[in-house]
Structure 1
Amino acid sequence: MGGLSWVCRAVLLYLVPFLNLFPISVTAVPGSFLTVKSSTSWTNSLSAPHSVKFDDGSFVTIILGTHGSPDLFNEYACGCGFFYNRTYNSSLFVIFSLYYVAGNIRGSDYPEIVWSANPKNPVSLDATLQLTSEGGLVLEAWSTNISNKSVVGLNLTDDTCNLMLLDDKNATIWQSFDHPTDTLVLGQKLLTGQQLTSEGGLFSFSITSEGLFFYINSNPPDIYYYSLFGNIKYNYSQFRNQSFAIFEFDDTSAYLDLFLPTSKYMKLRPDGHLKVYDEYWSEAPDILKSDIGICGYPTVCGNYGICTNEQCSCPLPINGTNYFQPINDRQLNHGCSLVTPLSCESYKNHILTELENITYFPFKKNLPDIHPDYLHISLETCKESCLKVCSCKAAIYNTSNRVGNCYLRSQIFSMMYADERDIREDTYFKVFVKVQNVPLPPQQQKHWLGIILGSSLVFVLFLLIGFFVFLFWKKEAANEVEEYYLDHVPGMPTRYSYDDLQAITKNFSMELGGGGFGTVFEGTQNDNTKVAVKRLDGFNQIKKSFLAEVETIGSIHHFNLVRLIGFCAEKSHRLLVYEYMSNGSLDRWVFHKNPEMLLDWQHRKKIILDTARGLTYLHEECRQKIVHLDIKPHNILLDENFNAKVSDFGLSKLVDRDQSQVVTTMRGTPGYMAPEWLNSVITEKVDVYSFGVVLLELLCGRKNLDHSQPEEEMHLLDLFRKKIEEERLLDLVDKNSGDMQVHDKDVVKMMMVAAWCLQIDFTKRPSMSTVVKVLEGVVDVESNLDYCFSNPPLPNTRARVDNQDGHIVATTSVLPSVLSGPR
């Protein structure tokens, strides 16, 4: 939405993130217009007077609308308010269309969402939205502050579902029509530079000065349909009565005029289909189907699925080996999965299998040419290029006029049978998909030494049984108290039995790693969903870590936080069940010794932004502020698409919103701890400092404290200060990555973000939300920075370092001036 005024951007950048923190309850009588005479507020609640509950437990709270009018008989009407989705236990601030029967809404008539303020950031219950004459829409400590313009009310148009903020001259200050989400309403325009984005964000439809473009938002994005304008530069498209047309600056010269009888809504569906609906939400034929064809849609058969004559299947076995399996045998359109998931640790066992007579949707002949990753190379070189990069999932090789080009893909959506009508002349394609070739383990031989050792172990176990029986009975009473407490904490995730987790992990046979007071194992649930099961080890510390982690992330949800699926607290067993992160922790990719496992600049930049967004949510968007206290590469996990997610909340601290700082015992990992730990009075800025260290390590490709370096370069922060003073920051850029060298200027700019986060005075560090704005290019880095980054010594401190993962747990002696008080 490139051409937005600063007012619209203020609403988008500030209204949306804060609205999504607050679902609903109504204190004003709904109508299509609401006048502001005094402060008006709404709180998300099913008990609100204008809330409507549906059969599945979802409900809406109507702020503006025509709820209860007897004139509404068997027809839809627009409404504005909050929609609580029971399935996802989250809420959105939305404009919706509800079906009325004699002025009433039936529980079976689900609302149709027309517009949403916070589709990417749903919120929970008990939030409050305010409308005031001074600042417009206000949420806690924030208001719109729309250029000192007085806001007299909200207006929701009955026919077009357009929400507007009005001033005292009845002029529109802001309107939802200027910020389309996934739906166009009759009369709404889509300007050049704007786009529709489907629910879930996978698909987008945009209009540019060159034409119409439909994308799947992969990495990189791929076009699945387009239409060029030619030599005329068109300005906007408009959904009019019975048509969808594209115009120049006037309303007369139209490039495209689709006849759409009795249509009122146009929606980009989550599957990429563009569909229109009449006023009763009856679905009309797919607009693009005749041009694209069913098999031309990117997700028609799911990941790795193959579409043939509108039927879905998985790739056939190759040389008698079946590498793919359907996710759902009865619904093949759900896609396929690898029988053996790809593992970057076993990259030498990666192989490429050719799928014969198969092509990929971006290479259909009616789509524009895609720029190849490698030009004029041989087939074998193309395949080797994919095998060297762990994130590469497929290699596509095409030959046109005896010239070979190579395309590498990190995501695989639906493929299609290579029909001659869809293949360009004088061109042929070869599609190779990466699979894991698991070698059979050699048969183990029995040795007498093993028998002797086994007998010795049995004897030792008998000696230990008495000791553990004693511990068991001693802790049984405490365990019962803890289990009762966990059963009565609201909003807890699923509780598993220990037997369930033994079955899921095949008796804890596949270890993924260790650290954070425990060992992590791979598991598979009954629906074939992979999970990571963390078994906590130890005695005293595991209870503190277990309770901290369950209480902290059990009831919060964010895309950049590792999701806690469930837990087990049974007798002495303490286990946590997380979503599975196939690419492991960030430290494997930053401190590696393997040149094939290199992160390019785009992946590093994405990981930095993802981590910053996760910390922003913890610090500013939760009901209670959460300070992580142990941010380091080991606790940043990467999924199959290298999306970064913050994990391991075993040392985290909950802080009330009205507290600016808190006193706590020292905790964390040496090298990532902020200097204010000296007096144990900390704020969320300790996480900002740790983030700065991680950011610098990621850009430089080395640890903060690296004993393999020469003595003068052993400490990265000291070296960073020296290079800033010498104006030679390029010396620090990761030399193992050629791509990082190409983007060296962008890397240096990112280093200054790290410098801001590493200020010794925590009051001079930015908040994590400010860091996100800097990374997005909205805010500049502070210029007046102190480049002394080294940590001071820790006097008067008794510290204990946990040998398992380097954690520090310490207490700090109170200084005499504190004991005596002011004089």
Structure 2
Amino acid sequence: MQTQMPAMSASSALNLLPLLLLLLAAASEATTINITNRCSYTVWPAAVRVGAGERLILEHASSYTVFPAEAPASAGGDVPVGAGGRELKSGQVWTLDVPANASSARIWARTGCSFSSNGKGSCQMGDCSGALACRVLGKPPNTVAEFMTGSTQDSFNISLIDGFNVPMDFLPVQGVKECSKGPRCAADITSQCPEEIKVPGGCNNTCSGTRSSNCTYSGFFKRMCPDAHTVPDDSATYACLAGMNYQVTFCPTSNLAISPAAMSPPPTPTLETTPSLSSPPLAPIGPRRTKPRVTSRVVAILVSVGTTILVTILFTIAFYICTRRAQWKHQGMEEEEEFGELQGAPMRFKFQQLKIATEQFTDKLGEGGFGSVFKGQFGEDSIAVKRLDRTGQGKREFSAEVQTIGSIHHINLVRLIGFCAEKSHRLLVYEYMPKGSLDRWIYGRHDNNAPSLDWSTRCKIITHIAKGLSYLHEDCTKRIAHLDVKPQNILLDNNFNAKLSDFGLCKLIDRDISQVVTRMRGTPGYLAPEWLTSQITEKADIYSFGVVVMEVISRRKNIDTSQSEESIHLITLLEETVKYGNLVDLIDKNSNDMHTHEQAVIQMMKLAMWCLQIDCKRRPRMSEVVKVLEGNMNTESNIDHNFVATNQATFDTAGNVTSSVPPVASHVSGPR
């Protein structure tokens, strides 16, 4: 037995030799990095080797012009020794072959470039000393893809330490289970960048340059791109077996799969069968005698009819399936176009991210007409996530809210952080407002233990609402009518600063159009009289604002069925009290502070009555309301004290009674 063991060991070694050779071949295999430009504009990608005395091979793999260049070897580490760069128009691809054990390389996109025929020029973002083929690292801010080869595995990541200029993802392209993920940074950080670090075309990171760990805005960059390096000691690095191929994509689509397969499965081989020795012999060719058929003609007819019916049914089913698939595909493409092409759109979340952030949607903050709102935690920030429960009914409202509030910014409008549009899931992510909605603080419900607000706080809230509406009506490119102004849609922070929210029913109005025709939308009790004609301007919001002001002053709902019959409707009660000079009767009876400021409160009620004019042309603009609240203008004295339309006749925009017409379909917001 002892004399046989060396022979067995040698035999085992011979058997393992092909495997060892295969591993050596795989370890020495070059890595290919495909760089694709999916931006709608031209970029100038650059690739620079960081190492000592090594070459970066830039191989031309397309019909486009490539401008490779080499820099002389340098002594010392972390010095660019390989260089390359080129122009890459939208849709074009640049292929880099990186040899095995080639140290590390950096790839980034330059933007706003202009180069002469000799390869000299400049770039707005990512410039490398004015050269087309870079020999030095790009000037921040720029998004950087970092890659390092090794004998057994490659390491790669996306770095935002030098700031951000172009969305990017860096993914392995072979379908290997152990290497199916890579970093993605598809968010448009530039549009969300804080003003103090924002530059034209990009967003600076205070980590840039010194690369110190004292990075003031690292939390912002990590929230926008969780997969990326944001500080020097960040651990967000990915690894794959050596010899893998990779894909760097500029401006990737937000819902691209994490691990695209590079290779299609091989075709199934066709098997040839041979006759078996036990098979029966083939029948001889030639005429043979057949037995007479006894099948009746009736049976033949029934078989024929049955076959026809079966074929018709199968054809109908196939046609229905094909039609439905085409409709689903078309609907999916429309939704991707609807949300994928939004200019300056907020961050796009995945449903799984929001599911984790809200701990399976457990902490419910409230419920509205189209969905529920949940508290969540994303990074260091608290968020409020609104999930639409009835997608079919709320799809138009979801799209309106993303496009409207995602493109406007004001201190008195709630900030939309991002959204999710994934399959049937529709969610909106807002900043979290700790004090909740205004209705909690002004409605004296039996289950409401919130303390009564003093007069100065109520004034501040009313002023903030007016400033938010003034911005929507007068300071945006298009006039924006909110169309659902009510306490449930006014949120408060810790200092009782008020912000308008819930833009699901808003309407954009061109500045050269005086009014729009739309179906009835909003909440009963806050609707302006002109809704009876569905001929609407932004003045409908001013009527709703007047109702909210009266609710804040009286600390009760406009329509409160718990009151006596003659007091159910607050605005009708206002009509009666103003005629008899008893406005003080409507002031919150449970607040001594409100009665201390009785005269100021009555002046506020007169402003509300100005906003409640039935004729929309007699209502003030919201900018005028702000001036009154700030003491720079007086309230109109010639006020009509009829605030409620008492019949079914409709009112045109001049306030004249016209012939009654049936209203168009309504779209009324549900209760909270």
Q: TM-score, normalised by structure 1?
A: 0.41
| Deviation, structure 1 residue 659 | 1.4
> Do the aligned residues in 2 keep the contact of 1:625 with 1:656 (CA within 8 Å)?
yes
From the superposition, tell whether residues 667 and 804 of structure 1 become closer, same or farther in structure 2 (CA, over 3 Å): closer
| Aligned residue number for residue 333 of structure 2 | 480
CA offsets 1:667-693 (integer angstroms, 9 cap, x no match): 111110110111111111000000000
| 1:734 partner SS | coil
| Aligned residue number for residue 493 of structure 1 | 346
| In structure 2, C-alpha distance between the alignment counterparts of 1:90 and 1:784, rounded to whole Å | 46
> Do the aligned residues in 1 keep the contact of 2:521 with 2:667 (CA within 8 Å)?
no
| Aligned residue number for residue 427 of structure 2 | 575
Equivalent residue runs for 1:438-453 within 5 Å: none
| In structure 2, C-alpha distance between the alignment counterparts of 1:661 and 1:534, rounded to whole Å | 31
| In structure 2, C-alpha distance between the alignment counterparts of 1:616 and 1:500, rounded to whole Å | 35
CA offsets 1:318-375 (integer angstroms, 9 cap, x no match): xxxxxxxxxxxx9xxxxxxxxxxxxxxxxxxxxxxxxxxxxxxxxxxxxxxxxxxxxx
Matching of residue 509 in structure 1 with residue 362 in structure 2: yes
2:562 is aligned, of 702, 705, 708, to 708
| In structure 1, C-alpha distance between the alignment counterparts of 2:528 and 2:364, rounded to whole Å | 32
| In structure 1, C-alpha distance between the alignment counterparts of 2:566 and 2:140, rounded to whole Å | 65
| 1:689 partner SS | helix
> Do the aligned residues in 2 keep the contact of 1:516 with 1:650 (CA within 8 Å)?
no
Which consecutive unaligned segments of at least 5 residues does structure 2 have? Answer: 1-111, 114-122, 126-138, 143-188, 202-231, 233-322, 649-659
| Aligned residue number for residue 407 of structure 2 | 555
| In structure 1, C-alpha distance between the alignment counterparts of 2:593 and 2:524, rounded to whole Å | 31
| Deviation, structure 1 residue 505 | 0.6
Letter in 2 for 1:558: H
From the superposition, tell whether residues 566 and 88 of structure 1 become closer, same or farther in structure 2 (CA, over 3 Å): closer
Matching of residue 524 in structure 1 with residue 390 in structure 2: no
From the superposition, tell whether residues 771 and 498 of structure 1 become closer, same or farther in structure 2 (CA, over 3 Å): same
> Do the aligned residues in 2 keep the contact of 1:510 with 1:522 (CA within 8 Å)?
yes
| In structure 2, C-alpha distance between the alignment counterparts of 1:609 and 1:479, rounded to whole Å | 43
| 2:491 partner SS | strand
| Deviation, structure 1 residue 715 | 1.4
Letter in 1 for 2:440: R
| Deviation, structure 1 residue 539 | 3.5
> Do the aligned residues in 2 keep the contact of 1:534 with 1:577 (CA within 8 Å)?
yes
| Aligned residue number for residue 31 of structure 1 | none
Matching of residue 761 in structure 1 with residue 615 in structure 2: yes
From the superposition, tell whether residues 612 and 730 of structure 1 become closer, same or farther in structure 2 (CA, over 3 Å): same
> Do the aligned residues in 1 keep the contact of 2:440 with 2:450 (CA within 8 Å)?
no
| Deviation, structure 1 residue 89 | 5.6
Matching of residue 749 in structure 1 with residue 603 in structure 2: yes
| 2:436 partner SS | coil
| 1:771 partner SS | helix
From the superposition, tell whether residues 471 and 774 of structure 1 become closer, same or farther in structure 2 (CA, over 3 Å): farther
Equivalent residue runs for 1:561-600 within 5 Å: 561-593=413-445, 594=448, 596-600=450-454
| In structure 2, C-alpha distance between the alignment counterparts of 1:617 and 1:592, rounded to whole Å | 31
| In structure 2, C-alpha distance between the alignment counterparts of 1:800 and 1:680, rounded to whole Å | 9
| In structure 2, C-alpha distance between the alignment counterparts of 1:596 and 1:652, rounded to whole Å | 30
| Deviation, structure 1 residue 538 | 1.0
Letter in 2 for 1:739: D
CA offsets 1:154-184 (integer angstroms, 9 cap, x no match): xxxxxxxxxxxxxxxxxxxxxxxxxxxxxxx
Higher share of residues assigned strand: 1
> Do the aligned residues in 2 keep the contact of 1:631 with 1:690 (CA within 8 Å)?
yes
CA offsets 1:384-411 (integer angstroms, 9 cap, x no match): xxxxxxxxxxxxxxxxxxxxxxxxxxxx
| Deviation, structure 1 residue 791 | 3.0
| Aligned residue number for residue 671 of structure 2 | 805
| Deviation, structure 1 residue 804 | 3.7
Letter in 2 for 1:617: Y
From the superposition, tell whether residues 604 and 492 of structure 1 become closer, same or farther in structure 2 (CA, over 3 Å): same
| In structure 1, C-alpha distance between the alignment counterparts of 2:529 and 2:411, rounded to whole Å | 30
Letter in 2 for 1:495: R
| 2:636 partner SS | coil
Letter in 2 for 1:582: P
| Aligned residue number for residue 465 of structure 2 | 611
| Deviation, structure 1 residue 747 | 0.6
Matching of residue 695 in structure 1 with residue 543 in structure 2: no
> Do the aligned residues in 2 keep the contact of 1:560 with 1:646 (CA within 8 Å)?
yes
Letter in 1 for 2:528: A
| Aligned residue number for residue 213 of structure 2 | none
| In structure 1, C-alpha distance between the alignment counterparts of 2:389 and 2:348, rounded to whole Å | 19
| 1:786 partner SS | coil
| Deviation, structure 1 residue 513 | 0.6
Larger mean CA deviation between 677-686 and 796-805 belongs to 796-805
| In structure 1, C-alpha distance between the alignment counterparts of 2:365 and 2:194, rounded to whole Å | 32
| Aligned residue number for residue 269 of structure 1 | none
| Aligned residue number for residue 182 of structure 2 | none
Matching of residue 686 in structure 1 with residue 540 in structure 2: yes
| In structure 2, C-alpha distance between the alignment counterparts of 1:713 and 1:663, rounded to whole Å | 34
| In structure 2, C-alpha distance between the alignment counterparts of 1:512 and 1:88, rounded to whole Å | 26
Letter in 2 for 1:563: R
| Deviation, structure 1 residue 480 | 3.4
CA offsets 1:753-797 (integer angstroms, 9 cap, x no match): 000000011001000000000000000000100000013444623
Letter in 2 for 1:575: L
From the superposition, tell whether residues 496 and 595 of structure 1 become closer, same or farther in structure 2 (CA, over 3 Å): closer
CA offsets 1:547-571 (integer angstroms, 9 cap, x no match): 0101111111101001110000000
Q: TM-score, normalised by structure 2?
A: 0.50
> Do the aligned residues in 2 keep the contact of 1:483 with 1:570 (CA within 8 Å)?
no
Larger RCO: Structure 1 or Structure 2 (Cα < 8 Å, ≥ 6 residues apart)? 2
From the superposition, tell whether residues 729 and 595 of structure 1 become closer, same or farther in structure 2 (CA, over 3 Å): farther
| In structure 1, C-alpha distance between the alignment counterparts of 2:455 and 2:124, rounded to whole Å | 48
| Deviation, structure 1 residue 749 | 0.6
| Deviation, structure 1 residue 801 | 6.5
| In structure 1, C-alpha distance between the alignment counterparts of 2:439 and 2:527, rounded to whole Å | 17
From the superposition, tell whether residues 484 and 783 of structure 1 become closer, same or farther in structure 2 (CA, over 3 Å): same
| Aligned residue number for residue 508 of structure 2 | 654
Letter in 2 for 1:785: I
| 1:751 partner SS | helix
Equivalent residue runs for 1:76-91 within 5 Å: none
Equivalent residue runs for 1:68-217 within 5 Å: none
CA offsets 1:697-751 (integer angstroms, 9 cap, x no match): 1101111111111212221112111111111111110011121111111111100
| In structure 2, C-alpha distance between the alignment counterparts of 1:659 and 1:636, rounded to whole Å | 28
CA offsets 1:104-125 (integer angstroms, 9 cap, x no match): xxxx9x99xxxxxxxxxxxx99
Letter in 2 for 1:556: I
| Aligned residue number for residue 455 of structure 2 | 601
> Do the aligned residues in 2 keep the contact of 1:662 with 1:681 (CA within 8 Å)?
yes
Letter in 2 for 1:479: G
| In structure 1, C-alpha distance between the alignment counterparts of 2:644 and 2:568, rounded to whole Å | 12
From the superposition, tell whether residues 729 and 550 of structure 1 become closer, same or farther in structure 2 (CA, over 3 Å): same
Which consecutive unaligned segments of at least 5 residues does structure 1 have? Answer: 1-45, 59-84, 93-107, 112-123, 126-329, 331-469, 807-823
| 1:797 partner SS | coil
Q: Which has the larger radius of gyration?
A: 2
| In structure 1, C-alpha distance between the alignment counterparts of 2:522 and 2:475, rounded to whole Å | 23
| In structure 2, C-alpha distance between the alignment counterparts of 1:524 and 1:618, rounded to whole Å | 29
| In structure 1, C-alpha distance between the alignment counterparts of 2:471 and 2:624, rounded to whole Å | 12
Letter in 2 for 1:630: D
| 2:437 partner SS | coil
| 1:534 partner SS | strand
| In structure 1, C-alpha distance between the alignment counterparts of 2:355 and 2:367, rounded to whole Å | 18
From the superposition, tell whether residues 803 and 613 of structure 1 become closer, same or farther in structure 2 (CA, over 3 Å): closer
| In structure 2, C-alpha distance between the alignment counterparts of 1:564 and 1:517, rounded to whole Å | 17
Letter in 1 for 2:453: L
From the superposition, tell whether residues 539 and 89 of structure 1 become closer, same or farther in structure 2 (CA, over 3 Å): closer
Letter in 1 for 2:418: G
| In structure 2, C-alpha distance between the alignment counterparts of 1:535 and 1:595, rounded to whole Å | 27
